[in-house]
Structure 1
Amino acid sequence: MSFRRVVRQSKFRHVFAQAWKTEHCIDDVRVSRVTWDSPLCAVNPKFIAVIIEAGGGGAFLVVPINKSGRIDQSCPTVCGHLAPVLDIQWSPHDDNIIASASEDNTVKVWQIPDGGLNKPMTEAIVTLEGHSKRVGIIAWHPSALNILLSAGCDNAICVWNVRTGELVYQLNDSHPDIIYSVSWNKDGSALCTVCKDKALRVIDPRRGTVLKVKEKVHEGTRPMRAVFLSNGKILTTGFSRMSERQLALWDTKDLSEPMAVQEMDSSNGVLLPFYDPDTNMVYLCGKGDSTIRYFEITDESPYVHFLSLYSSKEPQRGAGFLCKRGVEVNKCEIARFYKLHERKVEPISMTVPRKSDLFQSDLYPDTASVEPALLAEEWIAGQDAPPLLVSLSGGYSAPTSKLGRDTLRGKPKLASQDSETGTTTSSVSSNAITSTTAAKEHKTEEIHHSRAARETDGNREQPKKEEDLLNELLAEMKALRAVVLAQNQRIELLERQLARIEDGDV
């Protein structure tokens, strides 16, 4: 008998990672040197935020996402903290709202004006005080408006209603040591945490109870990370007893044994996991090394499938992960990282090569929108709901934030058009040829409707003329599609040749 190896079918087996060209990077960014193992960067479809070095306090830089080139030393920053900033996170429900955690024991919430800062920002719209030691972790609720979690080196977890500034829940006795990582589940009804005592905990934050505990998730002594997956499983990263970096997958119904464990290498950099619930992929960025590994999580054994590894010459100080609303769907970009060098921010795109210029619905299922599913008061009262979803098929239009504290009060709306100009705005760039083709397709449909109406009315005037026009439009559409495909292939070839020249292969 002859045996044939069966290759697992997946549309993500050939995800291609590529760094952007030098002219599209951001230079002269003095990335923070704090020893806290946070990503140091947060990105959304409007802005890039990076924690930077600041004398006599804490600061982070915020620039529009399309910014490139050198950052002037006089560029305004968000600089209201009295000690170094340790973590920053954009609100999932308003692209102008960002929270920051600091060594000054506070969490502050800021509202960034459209277009970015034109002067230093020192006054936060909300300051949250409740921790007795430095605050190193913050995490917004995935579906409830204005609910923010913070975790500090006082081993406490605080849950805040940002609109009122009220501390609504505080968990002081759940962890005996420093908390390394906190992650909400899909509907925000539970948390998973990992702590210096090497234990994984599943917690109900509203009842203040620990639902599940698994001791010694990873045997090593270095920091761990945990992230809740959309199917209810938990993925952890850490170190083995022999100091090899590991990832493990856990079923919350039974934490006695991991569903899968993979060992990678013996580097000492903490693995920062970035999870994409739309594609069920996990990207692991090693802090202090130069690799990004990516995996696909499935419901069938062996559950965790290694896809590929992106490696570069320079190590990363941290990384920002762009949510799906900000990627370029017409380029089949499924993820984008912003890699922090010592003095540079470098975008890295993850794409799935496709020849067609049409919207790839299998790559882009509906993704989380900015519209919250619940108000803070509804979640506090015990309601749960997964994030509301939005389609990316027509591009995504980010709502314009209104300045002032009132933004924290209402639910932001998805906007397909600018209310003043009436023109459609989108974070997804469009191709002019594709737009022309779409217009011709629309016109072709109109001709079909026109003919049907005339035949219904018994009016069959000039059928030959319409037939000729239809054939002409179809021929022109076919020619345009051929041009688009040819140009795309030519561009890909030239980019590959340029990359080889830059790497010294030619």
Structure 2
Amino acid sequence: MAWRFKASKYKNATPIVPKPEACIRDIFVGSYQTYGNNIAASAAFIAFNWEHAGSSLAVLPIDDCGRKSKTMPLLHAHSDTVTYLDFSPFHDGLLATGSQDCLVKVWHIPEKGLEQSISTPECTFSTKQRRVETVGFHPTADCLLFATAIGCVTLWDLTCQQEAFSNNEHPEVIQSLSWKQDGRLCVTSCKDKMLRVMDPRASTPITLAAESHQSIKDSRVVWLGDQNRVLSTGFDAARLRQVIIRDLRNFSMPEKTLELDCSTGILMPLFDPDTNMLFLSGKGDTTINYLEVTDKDPYLIEGIRHSGEQTKGACLVPKRALKVMEGEVNRIMQLTSNSVIPIMYQVPRKTYRDFHTDLYPETNGYRSDMTATQWLDGANTPVPKISLDPAKRELGDTPIIVLRGPLNEVVNNIANKMRNTKSSNNISTADKIEREKGIVKATYVPIKEKIKHMEQQSHTEKCELEQRFKEISAAHKEKDEDGNPHPQPTSEKNGNDNHHQQRETSSSSFDSETDMRAGETTPPKPLPRTSRNNSVSEQLSATVGGTNEDVITSVVTASNVAVAPRPVARPRTTSGYKVNRRAIIIHSHITAYPMLSFSCLISRKHAQTLT
């Protein structure tokens, strides 16, 4: 019995009945032998059967109250009793009705309600001379309508107002139909005492079947949210009212059977998938039972029972219309013989100043991302969830009401949405083709990668330059060995025949000194002062303003000295000054004298003097 002590957030939910002034009073409701609940509610309106014939409906605002007159505007729906009515989950002003006149009609309720009586529907469908038993909207696909008749289940697409599916495999009257919350499957209860699970998009629509309640009296079925379980109400062979839970994984064997009492009232199951709260209201009963559905034994936990007036019909109000700042977790609209009573189920809390997040999980929203055509083609897009927290809603704790206008406007909006979706898909397809062709956007390259690439490129250019120098040097050496004279420049080198001999002599002397000292480690000689006579710096400074020939002559003359003084050391301006200056000097020499020997230009000793 450990389950008795299990903590439950909703086990103490208490029904609160308002004062008579807060109820809708002095209405005229007859007794109808139908399988429907005789009342339906959206976040904006409530609709219920009116007068004894039941062919007309009264449509009032959800928060309306007070006495009503016999002369108030009505919805003159059918020529015979309205057997079932239901509001669209995505349009609070779109109402579907079915009748004994074998017609299904869709109505648009104006934003301000019925200011005058209405008798012209948005569209009408026929069930082929069969009385309509149930009617409703698909839970996830927009503008997809269903209806059941004797042995027949039919789907209509409201966007094109055509029949999309029909199945005639039920041998008897279909008493109830309920969809799984994700809209993939539905379950039916039939007068032949069988439950059937259907997939309208499959080649064989009926996928599962099992025997249900053993009495031929009315039976109802409801799918338990997104679970793989269904719950049915009916009578056993001894005419006791019972509740049965079945799991699709073992559909033929009941998971739980609960015997209630021997009353004759037909149980109307009202289930909230967000809180797993189940309400059982029997036609003609004065009590409404509350149970909590669990996935473990005992599966059904009884809560507080409400006793009041005799019930003609009942329905749940959408979660978007609840008073969340008062702890209201569900609201039942109870239809009696002369009134409509809103019964609020409130979870007791110490204070209601703050929003209690634990009581209100995210619920299905009011926008569908899937059309009827898409669902029929195999799509299974879920309805986006919304939060009931007033801080996350545009209008705070005000009920979220969705009114989208007449049906033709709804259809046009859906068509525009489909058109925009196709255009966006075409654009994305074009982008994909461009990417496949190689037309892509420029990629971002970090600055470190750019610097590394520049360094590698500089190193490559330097290596190519050295390789070029080596090739030039090798070519000159081959010519020297063959005894061919070097070609002289026409303008600059006429009369300067001794230049090459002097440079070769100095180069050979530098090479000999370098070879002698290759095995020794000696400190470098101190640099000469700038005031010392006959220094290279003085000679160079003396030639400032002269021609290039004068500068070259002075440098060559200085190289004939036995011990050539070193140039004055200057401070380095950058870390790469030595290498860059040497490369610049070598490049300038090659430009001026392309046929000079490479050994004369880049010998070690000469390179040291240049730096």
User: What TM-score range do you get, normalising by the shorter chain?
Assistant: 0.7 to 0.9
Identify the residue that residue 40 of structure 1 maps to in structure 2.
Answer: 38
Identify the residue that residue 126 of structure 1 maps to in structure 2.
Answer: 123
Identify the residue that residue 95 of structure 1 maps to in structure 2.
Answer: 92
Write out aligned runs for 1:117-156 (5 A): 117-152=114-149, 154-156=150-152
Q: Which amino acid aligns with 1:212?
A: L
Q: Which amino acid aligns with 1:122?
A: S
Contact preservation (8 Å) 1:139, 1:182: no
Q: Which amino acid aligns with 1:351?
A: Q
Please give the secondary structure, in 1, of the residue aligned with 2:36.
coil
Q: Distance in 2 between matches of 1:50 and 1:194?
A: 24
Report Cα offsets for 1:368-425 as digits up to 9, x if no partner: 111013111110101113322111101353234334621244369xxxxxxxxxxxxx
Q: Which amino acid aligns with 2:103?
A: T
Identify the residue that residue 13 of structure 1 maps to in structure 2.
Answer: 11
Contact preservation (8 Å) 2:47, 2:60: yes
Q: Distance in 1 between matches of 2:52 and 2:3?
A: 56
Residue of structure 1 aligned with 2:402, choices 399, 416, 421: 399
Report Cα offsets for 1:311-361 as digits up to 9, x if no partner: 12x210111210111110011101111111111111111110112321111
Identify the residue that residue 421 of structure 2 maps to in structure 1.
Answer: none
Q: Which amino acid aligns with 1:370?
A: Y
Q: Distance in 2 between matches of 1:4 and 1:273?
A: 27
Please give the secondary structure, in 1, of the residue aligned with 2:378.
coil
Write out aligned runs for 1:164-179 (5 A): 164-173=160-169, 175-179=170-174
Deviation at 1:139, TM superposition (A): 2.0
Contact preservation (8 Å) 1:86, 1:135: yes
Please give the secondary structure, in 2, of the residue aligned with 1:378.
helix
Q: Distance in 2 between matches of 1:397 and 1:292?
A: 27
Q: Which amino acid aligns with 1:306?
A: E
Deviation at 1:5, TM superposition (A): 8.9
Deviation at 1:286, TM superposition (A): 0.9
Q: Distance in 2 between matches of 1:5 and 1:191?
A: 31
Identify the residue that residue 606 of structure 2 maps to in structure 1.
Answer: none
Are residues 280 and 409 of structure 1, via their aligned partners in 2, closer, same or farther at CA, if it must alter by over 3 Å? farther
Q: Distance in 1 between matches of 2:37 and 2:242?
A: 19
Q: Does 1:285 align with 2:288?
A: no
Shifted more, 385-394 versus 229-238: the winner is 385-394
Q: Distance in 2 between matches of 1:138 and 1:189?
A: 18
Q: Distance in 1 between matches of 2:178 and 2:4?
A: 36
Deviation at 1:131, TM superposition (A): 3.3
Q: Does 1:110 align with 2:113?
A: no
Q: Distance in 1 between matches of 2:295 and 2:209?
A: 23
Please give the secondary structure, in 1, of the residue aligned with 2:254.
coil
Deviation at 1:221, TM superposition (A): 2.4
Identify the residue that residue 358 of structure 2 maps to in structure 1.
Answer: 362
Residue of structure 2 aligned with 1:333, choices 328, 337, 342: 328
Q: Which structure is higher in helix share?
A: 2
Identify the residue that residue 74 of structure 2 maps to in structure 1.
Answer: 77
Q: Which has the higher contact order (CA 8 A, sep 6+)?
A: 1
Deviation at 1:6, TM superposition (A): 5.6
Are residues 4 and 188 of structure 1, via their aligned partners in 2, closer, same or farther at CA, if it must alter by over 3 Å? closer
Contact preservation (8 Å) 2:154, 2:167: yes
Identify the residue that residue 410 of structure 1 maps to in structure 2.
Answer: 413
Contact preservation (8 Å) 1:33, 1:53: no
Deviation at 1:288, TM superposition (A): 0.9
Q: Percent of counterpart pairs with the same letter?
A: 33
Q: Does 1:203 align with 2:201?
A: no
Are residues 88 and 346 of structure 1, via their aligned partners in 2, closer, same or farther at CA, if it must alter by over 3 Å? same
Q: Distance in 2 between matches of 1:92 and 1:408?
A: 16
Deviation at 1:79, TM superposition (A): 0.4
Deviation at 1:111, TM superposition (A): 0.5
Please give the secondary structure, in 1, of the residue aligned with 2:133.
strand
Identify the residue that residue 501 of structure 1 maps to in structure 2.
Answer: none
Q: Distance in 1 between matches of 2:3 and 2:407?
A: 61
Q: Which amino acid aligns with 2:77?
A: G
Identify the residue that residue 470 of structure 1 maps to in structure 2.
Answer: none
Q: Does 1:315 align with 2:310?
A: yes
Please give the secondary structure, in 1, of the residue aligned with 2:21.
helix
Please give the secondary structure, in 1, of the residue aligned with 2:373.
helix
Please give the secondary structure, in 2, of the residue aligned with 1:377.
helix
Q: Which amino acid aligns with 1:24?
A: A
Q: Which amino acid aligns with 1:64?
A: P
Query: Which ranges in structure 1 are unaligned for 5 or more consecutive residues?
Result: 413-506
Residue of structure 1 aligned with 2:154, choices 147, 154, 158: 158
Q: Does 1:220 align with 2:223?
A: no
Deviation at 1:278, TM superposition (A): 0.6
Contact preservation (8 Å) 2:57, 2:77: no
Contact preservation (8 Å) 1:50, 1:62: yes
Contact preservation (8 Å) 1:372, 1:411: no
Are residues 379 and 242 of structure 1, via their aligned partners in 2, closer, same or farther at CA, if it must alter by over 3 Å? same
Q: Which amino acid aligns with 1:224?
A: S
Write out aligned runs for 1:486-497 (5 A): none
Identify the residue that residue 368 of structure 2 maps to in structure 1.
Answer: 372
Report Cα offsets for 1:234-257 as digits up to 9, x if no partner: 011111211111001100111121
Q: State which structure, 1 or 2, has the greater radius of gyration over its C-alpha atoms.
A: 2
Identify the residue that residue 266 of structure 2 maps to in structure 1.
Answer: 270
Contact preservation (8 Å) 2:35, 2:176: no
RMSD: 1.8
Deviation at 1:4, TM superposition (A): 8.9
Q: Distance in 1 between matches of 2:5 and 2:414?
A: 46
Identify the residue that residue 52 of structure 1 maps to in structure 2.
Answer: 50
Report Cα offsets for 1:182-228 as digits up to 9, x if no partner: 0011111111001011101001112352100002x112221111111
Q: Distance in 2 between matches of 1:6 and 1:28?
A: 43
Q: Distance in 2 between matches of 1:351 and 1:266?
A: 30
Q: Does 1:193 align with 2:188?
A: yes
Q: Which amino acid aligns with 1:249?
A: I
Deviation at 1:54, TM superposition (A): 6.0
Q: Does 1:251 align with 2:254?
A: no
Deviation at 1:308, TM superposition (A): 2.4
Write out aligned runs for 1:380-395 (5 A): 380-394=376-390, 395=397
Contact preservation (8 Å) 1:32, 1:40: no
Deviation at 1:53, TM superposition (A): 2.1
Q: Distance in 2 between matches of 1:4 and 1:219?
A: 33
Q: Distance in 1 between matches of 2:4 and 2:409?
A: 57
Contact preservation (8 Å) 2:35, 2:84: no
Are residues 6 and 21 of structure 1, via their aligned partners in 2, closer, same or farther at CA, if it must alter by over 3 Å? closer
Identify the residue that residue 439 of structure 1 maps to in structure 2.
Answer: none
Report Cα offsets for 1:53-87 as digits up to 9, x if no partner: 266x8111101112111111111111031211111
Please give the secondary structure, in 2, of the residue aligned with 1:300.
coil
Q: Distance in 2 between matches of 1:199 and 1:409?
A: 41
Question: How many correspondences in the alignment?
Answer: 405
Please give the secondary structure, in 2, of the residue aligned with 1:20.
coil
